[in-house]
Structure 1
Amino acid sequence: MMSQLAQVLLLLGAAVIMFALNRPRMDVVGLIVMTALPLTGVLTMSEALAGFGDPNVVLIAALFVVGEALVRTGVTQRLGDWLTVRARASEGRLVALLMAAAAGIGSFMSSTGVVAIFIPIVLRIARTARIPPGRLMMPLSVAALVSGMMTLVATPPNLVVHAELTRQGYPGFGFFSFTPFGMPILILAILYMLFARRFLAPGGAADIPACVALRNWVEEYSLAGRERRLRVKAGSPLAGTRLDALDLRASAGINIIAIERDTRFRRKLIQPQADTVLAEGDVLLLDLRKGSLDLRDFARTHALEELPVSGEWFTDVAQEIGMAQLVVPPTSRLIGKTVVEARFRTTYDLAVIGMKHGPRPVTTAPLSEPIRAGDTLLVVGRWKAIRRIQAERSDLLLLDLPAEAEEALPDRHRAPLALAVLALVVILMVWGVVPNVQAALLGCLLLGLFRCIDMAGAYRSIHWQSLILIVGMLPFSLALQRTGGVEMAARALLDVVGGSDPRLLLAALFAATAGLGLFISNTATAVLMAPVALAIAADLDLSPQPFAMTVALAASTAFMTPVSSPVNTLVLGPGNYRFGDFVRIGVPLALMTMIVSVVLVPLLLPF
């Protein structure tokens, strides 16, 4: 048994190291664990794969779909407009309302999804209210994390802890069992951020974003002077040739933004594709970096005619060609690849023309620069392609749109139907009419019936990396229990703290869970710590409920570093934060959350 325990602990240590290094991706680590655990002889392959049939995994997937429907029907954008009106130019009132709204929505969907939805809303509010975005982004991330303490379905760790309770034969948590703890912590977080926001965005008015139009980005990314128009003349060797055969980006450093072509009735813009065949008379709209090519020599060699340009980077065709800023989430498959290696244009029908590492623009060759988590990409293409990427949200998140995109706002007439379905799902869960997963699946079917979301959008909305991570880590709990690892961890914690005062054990359990969450995801932390909490309760012959609740609350206390949670990583760039900002603001808040939890949990869930 000790030999098997050593193998399981070795595998666990390797997983923690891979999580900390973020190499490979978290979902790949989950697959590695799922494959390797049966080799220890502790579990069978069927037991390692049992997570795919876990109702809580299906429930999490269904909640991603419900959240996407709220985005598509414009519910969240209406909320942003409501916040702006209600705040009445008061920054303090705006921070409080923003945090309350983010926590409220986050009670029914993932915190990462909440932040992804709210980032463009907050940027628009910041412009309207003339507030530096750094004063709003961290309150947003804090509220999204606290939202995980509000309801049973608010975050995967809650469902993981609930599932461990029921698996061991104890009563699970109800839908609102977390609310008596989450509400006081949310009020504390709002009061704290109203005070702490003064230490964020010290640049003041200089950090306030202007109302962004295409011309703003032309200036910010130094695009002026890079536009070129070349007409394909008769006899040009380019005529009749496919773009993928020419490969002008690799051979000449030419980025074709669009192609103007005369048709029978009108002149139209064509989105360049790999199989697009150039024709005589086509006008190529090019983005060309200074010094990358002798354009005159290239035009002479290939029988091309240079045409006049506006000097404002194609803003004269802004009705058809648009721009957007996108942010790369920590779980994106694009991380580590260059734009060319990721086949960005082929996949998204958009061209990358600018890049930022955090707030710092990449001034040289962004197409050959490896993409990092939190990077901002400036893309250009047809508005139709930009609208499609709004619903993507797995590898890229929409950060900002220019003023010219107002006509691209989502269709709002189905918003009441989406809200009605959400209310029905919550009622079914609260009253226990049907199992939670059945209520969520019913909501997904109704949202599809009312055309609030289609099947393609539903599948895209599911964060498959998170699901694979949960499924892959769940077998660890069973493996550690069978080999005595859980009992050993419980004993070690009891020996360090002593069993005289259960409140000290709750504090130690909270600190251990929050500390482990600095290195691995809060879902994986809950998977590992929930059995330890229940083992401690069993050893002391106490109720398991307060110990399980402490683990769940601590798993959501990921305020302390920008890598503690994807939520923090997402706001790093838009808020212009540094690593030290999260330490300075997050550590005191985490300590206060621990104190509140240790005081409240025994009062509401007696030992």
Structure 2
Amino acid sequence: MTTDQIILFALFGVLFGFLIWGRIRYDLVAFAALLIAVLLGYLPYSEAFMGFGHPAVVIIALVLIVSRGLMNSGAVELIARFVVKPDRPLPVHISIMSVAGAALSAVINNVAALALLMSLDIGAANKAKRAISLSLMPLSFATILGGMITLIGTPPNIVIAQYRGTALGEPYQMFDFAPVGITVSLVGILYVAIIGWRFIPERANSGSLEGDAGLYVCEARVKDESKSIGKQLRDLYPSANEHDITVLGLVRNGKRLPGFSRMVETRAGDFLVLEGDPKSVEKFMGAADLDFVGAEKHGGLRGSSLTILEVIVPDNARIAGRTAIDLRLLYRRGVTLLGVSRNGVRFRDRVRRLPIKPGDMLLLLGPEERMDEVTAWLGVLPLADRRTEVIQRTKALFAIGAFAAAIMLPVLGITDLTIALGLCVIAYVAAGLIGGSDFYELIEWKVIVLLACLIPLSGALESTGGTTLIADAIVTQTAGLPAWAILTVLMVVTMTLSDFLNNVATALIAAPIGVSVANSIGASPDPFLMGVAVAASCAFLTPIGHKNNTIIMGPGNYQFGDYWRMGLLLEIIVIVVAVPALMVFWPL
């Protein structure tokens, strides 16, 4: 071992130690390690920041944006409507949610897939009066498994694909991961749905994912050609109950009809008076085919990305003592007063004609980029973490078409995936599915910086012979064993690292080792690279190995030691299934 190798191994050892420790942000740790490597002369200054332009970094950023665009269009919600029924037996519920989660993770980022389905799973658990912990961890594991199916499903696949392009001259394509990924995912889902969930401790629910959202009185318009036209108001009660909404009455020709108007048939142009929390109101409006006040001001293919913001009215607010119509809020500022919450007190005034009092909580709906300016003008105070994206369901087909085109362009060889996803993002911005102000907020910059810093660092380790040294050690320790056994050892080592390190970091370090091992034993590098991709993605023993496991820890009321109970056997199953599948689809 040379001096350079010793120093670099020591640097990586310190890097891994800080990453596992977790007290310092992992992007800062990686950035510091990069600068140290440059100062020590292992990287030229001109190449220090080349990782930020690496295709893998760009693709990961674009996938996060495209995933949000698909969610904002309601394309993903179309699937979600059919997967949640609280009265299903738990194994059936877990099976359906897991299949849906895996399928979504194959086409959007697996973190985004979990974020969408998690709220549905929590709602189903609360309605069924069972512990959230029993179904939330299986859902997380299923989304991790499903991410292995395509190139864009999980960051390790993107890293491995781009590394193959650098090392072997041609990157993996969109569906090269599918044969092994589908095989492993199906077996893994069978395990979590039938056996795995039984190992999870049944813990008391920690409460709502969103916190204690207030109940608002809102109005929703029955739009032309709505499927609710002609139905009596009571016919909408089952859907309202499903979405935790109370239908309070009906407004027709500008006047609130007496009582609850249960027997009145709805007409186009009527307004339903609803009571519920913001997310429930938004979802019920989608299910009942209703529209919000002022839709004509915000709608259209070129409309802005919309958000619902909860604010509280202080004593000195401009809107205190006045109505939304007095201020001409919609026409002057392009923002709709969607609902009002007044300490649980109901009122019969029209929402826009209600004099606002200090202490009221308001729901404001409008373009994301305009909300800060409008709240400052109104003198109201936004509530932390109380923004709800408005699903623009009329754009679902457009969003699906744009995404399908982005997938097909590289498949047909017209352009590469980076350019195709970039064109998809531009289309989503032009259609108002993604706002200009929140564009950069959708990118997870800590992961981007981590990846951009580790790419040149792993290159330095490879150029100094460090990865070859590790590969030789693996080959030496497994001397005499068949190639499939060596592949198994590599996957076990990679999977163990991924349980404690970021999976992107694990893939970057393990990919060159896999190629070196394959070259040392005269085998094809493809099964070893694919094996690294599978193993780096499958982190099921801890809450820190994969972001999805971290996300569910609070809502599921899990403890650190809960994950290995179901995850250990799953990791063994992944190895047992993946190695033969690799040998079939990617012969050694």
Could you tell me the TM-score, scaled by structure 1's length?
0.69
Give the Cα separation in 2 of the matches to 1:531 and 1:570.
30
Partner of 1:543: 524
Give the Cα separation in 2 of the matches to 1:214 and 1:166.
49
Counterpart among 333, 343, 352 of residue 314 in structure 1: 343
Q: Please show how residues 175-574 of structure 1 align to structure 2 within 5 Å.
A: 175-194=174-193, 195-200=195-200, 202=202, 258-260=313-315, 266-267=321-322, 314-316=343-345, 321=361, 382=382, 389-390=387-388, 409-574=390-555
Unpaired segments ≥5 residues, structure 2: 216-310, 325-340, 352-359, 364-371
Partner of 1:33: 33
Offset, 1:170: 4.4
Q: Deviations over 1:284-312 (max 9, x none)?
A: xxxxxxxxxxxxxxxxxxxxxxxxxxxx9
The answer as to 2:584 corresponding to 1:603 is: yes
Give the Cα separation in 1 of the matches to 2:381 and 2:525.
55
Query: Any idea what SS the aligned residue of 2:198 has?
Result: helix
Offset, 1:583: 1.0
Give the Cα separation in 2 of the matches to 1:586 and 1:491.
30
Q: Name the aligned partner's letter for residue 506 of structure 2.
A: T
Indicate conservation of the 8 Å contact 2:146/2:182, yes or no: no
Q: CA 1:461–1:484 in structure 2 vs 1: closer, same or farther (change >3 Å)?
A: same
Offset, 1:41: 1.7
Partner of 2:565: 584
Indicate conservation of the 8 Å contact 1:543/1:606, yes or no: yes
Indicate conservation of the 8 Å contact 1:514/1:558, yes or no: yes
Indicate conservation of the 8 Å contact 2:145/2:185, yes or no: yes
Offset, 1:261: 5.1
Indicate conservation of the 8 Å contact 1:533/1:551, yes or no: yes
The answer as to 2:64 corresponding to 1:64 is: yes
Offset, 1:446: 1.0
Q: CA 1:213–1:30 in structure 2 vs 1: closer, same or farther (change >3 Å)?
A: closer
Q: Name the aligned partner's letter for residue 549 of structure 1.
A: M
Q: CA 1:23–1:576 in structure 2 vs 1: closer, same or farther (change >3 Å)?
A: closer
Partner of 1:44: 44
Unpaired segments ≥5 residues, structure 1: 217-255, 270-311, 324-345, 351-379, 392-408
How many equivalent residue pairs?
A: 454
The answer as to 2:155 corresponding to 1:156 is: yes
Q: CA 1:161–1:264 in structure 2 vs 1: closer, same or farther (change >3 Å)?
A: closer
Give the Cα separation in 2 of the matches to 1:96 and 1:60.
29
Offset, 1:210: 12
Query: Any idea what SS the aligned residue of 1:414 has?
Result: helix
Give the Cα separation in 2 of the matches to 1:425 and 1:571.
31
Partner of 1:102: 101
Partner of 1:363: none
The answer as to 2:176 corresponding to 1:147 is: no
Query: Any idea what SS the aligned residue of 2:314 has?
Result: strand
Indicate conservation of the 8 Å contact 1:68/1:458, yes or no: no
Q: Deviations over 1:16-70 (max 9, x none)?
A: 0110111321111221122121222222122221111212211111111101112
Give the Cα separation in 2 of the matches to 1:481 and 1:317.
68
Offset, 1:180: 1.0
Q: CA 1:265–1:183 in structure 2 vs 1: closer, same or farther (change >3 Å)?
A: closer
Q: CA 1:41–1:125 in structure 2 vs 1: closer, same or farther (change >3 Å)?
A: same
Give the Cα separation in 2 of the matches to 1:556 and 1:119.
20
Offset, 1:316: 3.7
Offset, 1:196: 2.1
Offset, 1:94: 2.2
Partner of 2:574: 593
Indicate conservation of the 8 Å contact 1:196/1:585, yes or no: yes
Indicate conservation of the 8 Å contact 2:138/2:196, yes or no: no
Give the Cα separation in 2 of the matches to 1:201 and 1:267.
53
Indicate conservation of the 8 Å contact 1:562/1:569, yes or no: yes
Give the Cα separation in 1 of the matches to 2:16 and 2:467.
17
Q: CA 1:482–1:381 in structure 2 vs 1: closer, same or farther (change >3 Å)?
A: same
Give the Cα separation in 1 of the matches to 2:200 and 2:419.
44
Give the Cα separation in 2 of the matches to 1:386 and 1:207.
18
Q: CA 1:566–1:381 in structure 2 vs 1: closer, same or farther (change >3 Å)?
A: farther
Q: CA 1:445–1:500 in structure 2 vs 1: closer, same or farther (change >3 Å)?
A: same
Q: Name the aligned partner's letter for residue 42 of structure 2.
A: V
Query: Any idea what SS the aligned residue of 2:82 has?
Result: helix
Query: Any idea what SS the aligned residue of 2:84 has?
Result: helix
Give the Cα separation in 1 of the matches to 2:438 and 2:50.
27
Q: CA RMSD in A?
A: 3.2
Query: Any idea what SS the aligned residue of 1:511 has?
Result: helix
Partner of 2:367: none
Give the Cα separation in 1 of the matches to 2:531 and 2:456.
22
Give the Cα separation in 1 of the matches to 2:397 and 2:458.
42
Indicate conservation of the 8 Å contact 1:139/1:193, yes or no: yes
Give the Cα separation in 2 of the matches to 1:138 and 1:381.
36
Query: Any idea what SS the aligned residue of 1:24 has?
Result: coil
Give the Cα separation in 2 of the matches to 1:464 and 1:487.
31
Partner of 1:79: 79
Q: Which moved further from structure 2: 76-85 or 189-198?
A: 76-85
Q: Name the aligned partner's letter for residue 497 of structure 2.
A: L
Q: Name the aligned partner's letter for residue 429 of structure 2.
A: G
Give the Cα separation in 2 of the matches to 1:522 and 1:436.
22
Q: Which moved further from structure 2: 542-551 or 34-43?
A: 34-43
Partner of 1:296: none
Indicate conservation of the 8 Å contact 2:312/2:382, yes or no: no
Q: Name the aligned partner's letter for residue 202 of structure 1.
A: E
Offset, 1:211: 12
Indicate conservation of the 8 Å contact 1:16/1:520, yes or no: yes
Give the Cα separation in 2 of the matches to 1:69 and 1:489.
42
Indicate conservation of the 8 Å contact 1:55/1:437, yes or no: yes
Q: Deviations over 1:469-523 (max 9, x none)?
A: 1000011221112211111100110111115300111111001101111221110
Q: Name the aligned partner's letter for residue 185 of structure 1.
A: V
Q: Name the aligned partner's letter for residue 190 of structure 1.
A: I
Give the Cα separation in 2 of the matches to 1:555 and 1:49.
24
Q: Which moved further from structure 2: 194-203 or 260-269?
A: 260-269
Q: CA 1:141–1:576 in structure 2 vs 1: closer, same or farther (change >3 Å)?
A: same
Q: CA 1:42–1:203 in structure 2 vs 1: closer, same or farther (change >3 Å)?
A: closer
Give the Cα separation in 1 of the matches to 2:210 and 2:502.
36
Give the Cα separation in 2 of the matches to 1:486 and 1:209.
47
Give the Cα separation in 2 of the matches to 1:212 and 1:490.
49
Give the Cα separation in 2 of the matches to 1:119 and 1:265.
37
Q: CA 1:316–1:78 in structure 2 vs 1: closer, same or farther (change >3 Å)?
A: farther
